[in-house]
Structures are given as C-alpha cells and as structure tokens.
Amino acid sequence: MNPIKFIAKHFDKSVLPEPIQINSICAFTGEKITEGYEINKIISSSFTDYEYLKYKSDYVSVDIALLLSNRLINGNSGLRNYSFYCTEKELKILKREEIEDILINPKETPFIFCVSFNNKKHISFKSKINYNNDNFIIQTDLAPVKINMKELNEVYPILKNRYSVIPEKKESTLQPTYFSKEEIEFGCTNYKKIESYGAEKYFREENILNKYRKSYFLKLLIFI
C-alpha cells in the first residue's frame, strides 16, 4: 500500500473543505484522481520539499491534503507538529517520552514510524512502510534513519547509562547525568567526568560509539 494512503485512512475527511471534481493526477503520487485540491490551496508558502512534487499536475489528492492539513489533531494542528506511529489499526501521536517504547519493543507490522526533531517540517509523505521488526526505517525531518535491532541493542544501553543520573546526586535539585547529550554525541574531554563514570568502561564504549559518530542513527537515538 502507498504510505500516504496508509496514514490518511486514519483521519476524517470532514476536516477538509469540500474537494473539487477533476480528471487529473496527483502531483505527489501520480495516481489518477477524480477529486482533489489545487496545489496552491494546500501547500503553504513555507513548503520547500518541491522535489516530492514528481508529477506534472496542478492538483493533489484528498489523501495528500489530509497529511498536509493543519487541522488533523484537535482541529488546530497537523501531523508535522508531532512524532507518530501508524499501523493498519491505529495512528498514535507520540509524546517524546513515548517514542522509546515504540522503538525498543516489537511492533505490529506493517507500520510507519516518524520522529520529528523540531515539529516544524512535514515528514509523513516521505515515510516508508516497514514490514520487519529487525530492520526498519524511522523517517525524521533530517533524513530517513535505518534501524538495525542488533546495532540498537548494542548502542542504546550505552546511551541510557551515560545519560542516567549520577547515583549520589539523585536527591539533588539538578540531578546531573554522567554526561550531557552533547558529550555523548561528540565525545567528552572532561577527564573528571570520565573517571566518575569509569574510565575503562568509558573508553571500551567509545570503541563502539565511534563507529556511529556523525551518523543520523546516533543523533536520533540520543534525541530519543
């Protein structure tokens, strides 16, 4: 199934104005459409992903209009404002603290998984349908990120440990973690922090993390 239809079927078309009757194709998907909307009535002036308008047409389908609508969620915001997880049965809008659970646990296939770093850019029409829990793609507003569960299970516990609160500081107001997210992503030069964490463990883990430094994979996991 087309990812656009896979997502759009979960939304009520009544949030949109009445479509116009046409005999054309969708500028995004190339599918033949008998009803839809003029492109300039759907995409805003801030839209920049013109490379996704692959077909010569002045119209888009109802499904595309739904995905780009700013009225889908509670009538006052759209999918670009959220991370989300979509299956045949449901579309779940994800709070940041809910993303981890979807990431690490088995997912109902097929599924679409989208994570937004800044909640400002449309990513739904760029997404891919996944059919495998061991290897899948998370679409982000920076790039699609390939997730391999073997790699995830090696890297993610390291990130969790490094971003955990220092035990003797748990009762403090600030509750400092062993390292900041920046230090986890780019490496730490503060040897006192490294010693507090455990130098041998730190440098052993660095051998693993260095394989993923500057990758969207590591950036995404740190964000989560």
What is the residue extent of each domain of the chain? 3-142, 149-223
Q: What is the pLDDT of residue 172?
A: 84
Q: What is the pLDDT of residue 108?
A: 96
Q: What is the pTM of this model?
A: 0.93
Q: What is the pLDDT of residue 93?
A: 96
Sorted by sequence, the CB contacts under 8 Å of residue 194 that are 6+ apart come out as 188, 202, 203
Helix axes 216-223, 149-162, angle to 10 degrees: 50
Task: Please report where in the chains the tokens 């078309």 appear, as a residue.
Answer: 13
pLDDT, averaged per 10 consecutive residues of the chain (224 residues), comes to 94 94 96 96 87 94 95 89 97 96 97 96 96 98 97 98 92 90 96 96 97 97 97
Please report how many Cα atoms fall inside a 13 Å half-sphere around the Cα of residue 110, on the Cβ side. Answer: 12
Q: Given its phi and psi angles, is residue 66 left (phi above 0), alpha (psi -120 to 50 degrees) or beta? A: alpha
Sorted by sequence, the CB contacts under 8 Å of residue 102 that are 6+ apart come out as 85, 92, 94, 113
Please report how many Cα atoms fall inside a 13 Å half-sphere around the Cα of residue 152, on the Cβ side. Answer: 21
Other CB atoms within 10 Å distance of the CB of residue 47? 14
Strand partners, 112: 86
Residue 4: alpha-carbon gap to chain centroid: 15
Q: What is the pLDDT of residue 5?
A: 95
Q: What is the pLDDT of residue 44?
A: 82
Distance (Å, whole) CA 206 – CA 200: 10
Sorted by sequence, the CB contacts under 8 Å of residue 77 that are 6+ apart come out as 70, 71
Q: What is the pLDDT of residue 139?
A: 98
Task: Please report where in the chains the tokens 């595309």 appear, as a residue.
Answer: 64
Q: Tokens for 117, please give them.
A: 């770093």
CA 148, 154, 156, 162: dihedral to nearest 10 degrees? -160
